Homo-oligomer: A and B are copies of this chain.
Amino acid sequence: MGKSSVANNAYSNAISYSVRTNIMSTIGFIGLGQMGSPMAANLIKGGHSLQVFDVNADAVAQMVTLGAVAAQTPGQAASQADFVVTMLPNGDLVRKVIFADDGVISTLSKQALIIDMSTIHPFETDALISDLSLQGFEMMEAPVGRTSVHAIKGELLILAGGTKSQIERAQPLFDCMGSETIDAGGPGKGIRVKIINNYMSIALNALSAEAATLSEAIGLEFEDAMKVMSGTPAGNGHFTTTWPGKVLAGDLSPAFMVDHAHKDLGIALDLANQVNVPMPCGAASRELYSITRAAGRGRQDWTSVFEQLRVTSGLEAKIK
């Protein structure tokens, strides 16, 4: 479903390509911020007709110089559009530009597709899709990965949440803005995978700061610590290293015991507290190991922390 395959087809098959070029679309684009502006610019570059709306007049004006039509309201942007793309800071705004008196659906054709590319709360996404559906409108979500630099180059990662046919329909737009589209598995799944990915990377950034600060505080060169961590789960994560052969395979026989992990974590935290490096993420993680031990898993593999957290969360145990 990625751009590469589509692009390959497009370039190797003139007929398919010409069909594609025939379906240049009219797009209402709402939200011209740090990400939205380059995304809109790449849609224009791709040959689409854009009707743009933003409260920031400068951002609108700049898009007009690239060939967009300025809309005075979200409704105007949506008028006669094949697609409406929203790229806004939060779910309240997305709801407002869609449902307000002069909002998107005040003019939108019921044949059009709304694509929300904002990062918002997944339950807001669900509610938007459902509320729109009740009024006969169709929405999918497609939040993006990577940075504003990638947005400018049209190399975003598109996390598409929608039906197969919605994603197929939106693919030409995605191909203008991104270099890779991932079908997240259905409506609402795109925003879910975005939130999970961001959770993991944002929290991991903080945890990494703890390890690197402690490293410096005890007199280690970061490069020396990195030499080791780049060859272990510390640097490469667990999802593709320790987990597949253990907790994901239903095997909790210990390669490295919870009790030992808990002990080593205690040493690190004691050390950190002696040299005044606050490590709140690590401190919190020790208490998760404590929960795991209290559940009788001290001599299981350390990856059983995942199984235990599942159970603590009220999910059914997978491993007997």
Q: Which residues of A contact B (CB under 8 A)?
A: 89-90, 119-123, 145, 147-149, 157, 159, 180, 182, 184-185, 188-189, 192-222, 224-240, 242-243, 248, 255-256, 261-268, 270-291, 293-296, 302-303, 305-306, 308-310, 312-315
The answer for the CA separation of A196 and B269 in the assembled complex, in Å, is: 10
Q: In chain B, what residue has the closest Cβ to A194?
A: B228
Contact (Cβ within 8 A) A206 B264 = no
**Within the complex, what minimum Cβ distance (angstroms) separates A260 from chain B?**
8
Using A192-B218, A264-B119, A278-B287 as known contacts, say yes or no to A201 and B233 having CB atoms under 8 A apart. Answer: yes
Using A196-B215, A204-B207, A291-B312 as known contacts, say yes or no to A280 and B280 having CB atoms under 8 A apart. Answer: yes
Q: In chain B, what residue has the closest Cβ to A215?
A: B196
Q: In chain B, what residue has the closest Cβ to A219?
A: B192
Contact (Cβ within 8 A) A203 B266 = no
CB contact between A312 and one of B194, B202, B294 (< 8 Å): that residue: B294
Using A213-B309, A227-B182 as known contacts, say yes or no to A287 and B283 having CB atoms under 8 A apart. Answer: yes
The answer for the CA separation of A310 and B291 in the assembled complex, in Å, is: 11
The answer for the CA separation of A143 and B309 in the assembled complex, in Å, is: 30
What DSSP secondary structure best describes chain A's contact surface? helix
Contact (Cβ within 8 A) B305 A209 = yes
The answer for the CA separation of A285 and B282 in the assembled complex, in Å, is: 9
Contact (Cβ within 8 A) A243 B278 = no
**Within the complex, what minimum Cβ distance (angstroms) separates A84 from chain B?**
23
Contact (Cβ within 8 A) A276 B313 = yes
Contact (Cβ within 8 A) A309 B205 = no
Q: Which of A188, A203, A295, A315 has the most CB of B within 10 A?
A: A203
The 7 A-B residue pairs whose C-beta atoms are closest, nearest first, are: A200-B234, A206-B285, A199-B268, A276-B294, A209-B306, A280-B284, A201-B234
Residues of B contacting A211 in the complex (Cβ-Cβ under 8 angstroms):
196, 199-200, 203
A270-B270, A278-B290 given; 11 more Cβ-contact pairs under 8 Å: A121-B267, A121-B271, A123-B274, A185-B220, A201-B232, A202-B264, A206-B305, A209-B305, A216-B315, A272-B290, A277-B294
Contact (Cβ within 8 A) A122 B218 = yes
Residues of B contacting A266 in the complex (Cβ-Cβ under 8 angstroms):
270, 273
Residues of B contacting A199 in the complex (Cβ-Cβ under 8 angstroms):
210-211, 214, 234, 264-265, 268, 279, 282
The answer for the CA separation of A71 and B204 in the assembled complex, in Å, is: 47
Residues of B contacting A285 in the complex (Cβ-Cβ under 8 angstroms):
202-203, 205-207, 280-281
**Within the complex, what minimum Cβ distance (angstroms) separates A188 from chain B?**
8
Contact (Cβ within 8 A) A185 B277 = no
